[in-house]
A = this chain, B = another copy of it.
Amino acid sequence: MNIQNVLKNSSKFMAKNTEIIVIMNTIIKKTLLFLFTIILISPVFPQKTDSIVIKKIFNEALSNDIAYKNLEYLCKKIGARICGSPQAAAAVEWTKQLLQNMDLDNVYIEELWVHRWDRGEKEYSKMVSNINGTKELNICALGESIGTKVEGINAEVIEVKNFEELKKLGKKKIKGKIVFFNRPMDPTLYNTFEAYGGAADQRVHGASEAAKYGAIGVIVRSLTTNIDEFPHTGIMFYTAGVEKIPAVGVCTKDAELLSIWLKSDPKLKLFIKTNCMFFPEVKSGNVVGEIKGVQYPNEFITVGGHIDSWDLGEGAHDDGVGCIQSIEVLRLFKSLDIKPKHTIRVVIFMDEEIAQKGGTKHKELVELKNEKIIAAIESDGGGFLPIGFSIDANEEKIAKLNEWIKLFENYGMYQIFVGWGGVDIEPLKELNIPLFGLVTNSQRYFDYQHSANDTFEKVNKREMQLGSGAMAALVYLIDQNGL
């Protein structure tokens, strides 16, 4: 796009930004005008001062690069930080120091114990076909999978799309083989999390399902709609009482190729060697920081993300961004000198990816201390363009969010999704605490998630900053207007 006509038409061009046409025809518009007049005089409608403060919050979020530089430090100087690892410990220490340097009223650790799984030496896999030759495959062990023995596994492969097919094939055709789960994420679903939800069973339960029929290992198509060379990891579980077999993810490009080779040579052999190790549990923790409320110091609004990541990449989108944005919420309050009525608490959760022990521990402590939490907000959808909020709360609170969302339209946020908050705050639901999530554009999330491609460079500064602004603005609205 060129500047000439932009300058020529500058007044019009500017107009296109401000004159967002409300999506309704003239009749509706007039009717709404009438209705809005009524609402404006009702006490629940957000005040004009709210929109002024929200603008200040976004302006500061978009003007200051501290959060972005913090993310760079976390990704580049600490890097991947699977729970229980030395890097996870470093991340806890760094986060604590960061919060301590922010002149907060309270910074502490919620101690807990976590699993310690390590993939060990890099995995190796190749397919060997008498017809097509030999080809190395890009694989990675799935999280908490056992490794192969030192000599690896070497067997014929049987490709399936789902567990039904396994059942149809039965023991006779599966026994002694490696099962290849190759059902792609459905590309036609706009929300990629929905497509992920529709394909992830292969990764999570594929090994035990295949082992029931005598498989000796599974290789699972990576969960991304891209065709590329990044294998994606992620948690998998073994069903109790079923033999444990090794499970790996394979990049989509190699999954496509393996499928093609199998068509011309069903007898090809696949070799897989993985080196996974399990260690004793490790002491770790959630990091908590607080700005004390001036009016209700014992009532809390919580924001958070999770600091642990998978061991590939740098855990940038998943979920370095969410932690940094949550910390930024507190910095925004302080730098704009907004004195919250309620205590604003940031919780940097540990162990979202493996066993959610951070979320569970936090909930136990809230319960033990009998704390009143007004709301908990999580960011764990990646540092992409914010498009709205999710909410898991009663109708009355949903109605409030429906009013507030209008204040976010200038920032491109129109959508409310009902029935979800976030993995780390989910346990708080048991205590009847309203949950919120920052919802971002999901199109690019699975380009990165759980792979070596989830690096700092893939985060756009402004998109991340808009997310911080949105979270801080929501905290502000809850703090000022109640929920």
Contacts and interface: CB of A to CB of B under 8 A. Distances in A.
A63 interface: yes
A414 to B, nearest CB: 5
What 6 A-B pairs are tightest by C-beta distance, nearest first?
A16-B417, A12-B419, A21-B416, A59-B188, A17-B191, A443-B462
Contacts of A419: 9, 12-13, 15-16, 19
A363 to B, nearest CB: 13
B35 A27 contact: yes
Given A15-B418, A226-B461, A398-B21, A318 B4 contact: no
A380 to B, nearest CB: 5
A420 B2 contact: no
A255 to B, nearest CB: 15
Interface in A60-83: 62-63, 65
How many copies, total? 2
Interface stretch (A200-208, A243-251, A273-281): A200-208
A311 interface: no
Interface string A267-298: 00000000000000000000000000000000
B31 A35 contact: yes
Nearest to A64: B187
Interface in A367-386: 380-382, 385
Contact of A197 (B7, B19, B192, B382): B7
A410 interface: yes
Contacts of A443: 385, 460, 462-463, 466
A319 interface: yes
Interface in A193-245: 193-194, 196-197, 200-201, 203-204, 225-227, 234-235
Nearest to A446: B462
Interface of A: 1-7, 9-10, 12-17, 19-21, 23-28, 31-32, 35, 38-39, 58-59, 62-63, 65, 187-194, 196-197, 200-201, 203-204, 225-227, 234-235, 318-319, 352-353, 356, 380-382, 385, 387, 390, 392, 398-399, 402-403, 405-406, 410-412, 414-420, 423, 426, 441, 443-445, 447, 449, 460-463, 466
A235 to B, nearest CB: 6
A19 B416 CA distance: 8
A321 to B, nearest CB: 11
Nearest to A419: B12
A397 B28 CA distance: 17
Contacts of A191: 17
A455 to B, nearest CB: 13
A267 B418 CA distance: 62
A200 B21 contact: no
A427 to B, nearest CB: 10
Given A12-B392, A31-B35, A385-B441, 15 more contacts: A1-B352, A1-B381, A2-B423, A3-B200, A13-B193, A13-B419, A16-B417, A19-B419, A20-B415, A21-B402, A28-B32, A31-B31, A385-B385, A441-B441, A443-B463
A187 B25 contact: no
B23 A405 contact: yes
B390 A2 contact: no
Given A21-B398, A443-B462, A444-B462, A412 B190 contact: yes
Contacts of A189: 17
